Each structure stands twice: as C-alpha cells, then as structure tokens.
Amino acid sequence: MVWVAVPLAVGIGIGMLIGGNLQSQSRQNAGDATTSPAVPDQLEYTDMPCDPGSSVLVLHSLEGAMPDSEVRVLLDYETMWVRHRESANPALRGQTALLSRRDDVCPVIVPEDSRFTQFIWLGPFPSDTAPALCEALFKVTGKNCIPAQVVR
C-alpha cells in the first residue's frame, strides 16, 4: 500500500508544481497588470422626474449604510434583467435602472422611514401601463416592484 501511496503523492506534487507554473506564466503572458487595485466607478445619481400622469417602478428602497459596491450590483442586475425581459413589453425597451437620493425623488414616493436614503427605479412610464411592467419583469407588484404615481 505504501508503494502505491508514495508515487501517487509525488505525482500529485509534480502536477501541482507544473500546473502552478503554467497558471502564473499564463497570467503574465496575458498582460494583466495587477499592480494597483481596481477603483470602483462612482455611483451616478439621477433626479426622478415628477411629471403629472407618469409613474416610476420603484425596485429597491435602500438604507444609507449599504456599500456602494452592493448598490452597483443591484443597479447592474436590474438593468440586465430589464434588457432580458424587454421583449415582454415594448415600454421596457431602452430602460436602465436608475438611482436617486431621498431628496431627489418625487415627494409622494418618499417613505416615512428615514432609514431609506436611496432608491433604484425605472421610468418614467404612463401611469396606466406601469402595473403591467411589474408583471413583464416577473416581479411581485407591491413587494419588489412598486408602480408609483409620481404626482397625486
């Protein structure tokens, strides 16, 4: 049994050495410069339009303590999902998830709970079509998709 285990262990060790050398060489050959850490791009905030007769889809109400990197993931995910589902409803074509600060959303949308300081949303859309867009996005109206009239 020992005679089998020793050559097996030596073979695994040599394989790891060769594999490790190939992997480090391929990174160098690919031209990856990992001398400085990647700087995350800044979040871009947008004022929410508050035109009468329009609605937005509020997808996330975020607490201020959420790291920018996590907010970026949500924005990118929602934008990707809209692009994936835009064939379900023409009103979704070309839409991108947007981010607004609490002070830059329509007053009727601001929740009483002051913990929520950022909002991810889509729109604006005509108020009569907004509820159908939650369904087109496979979201639950009133839970993870709130069609909110911006002016009441």
pLDDT in tens, 20-47: 444 444 444 455 555 555 555 689 999 9
Q: What is the pTM of this model?
A: 0.72
* 48 occurs within a structural domain: no
Which strands make up the sheet holding 116-126, listed edge to edge? 98-101, 116-126, 54-63, 146-149
Lowest pLDDT segment from 21-25, 38-42, 99-103, 113-117: 21-25
Residues 53, 129: Cα–Cα separation, whole Å: 11
Name the residue range of residue 142's domain: 54-149
**What is the average pLDDT value for the chain, to the nearest integer?**
81
Provide the pLDDT for residue 95: 96
* 9 occurs within a structural domain: no
Q: How many domains, the chain?
A: 1
Provide the pLDDT for residue 34: 52
* 14 occurs within a structural domain: no
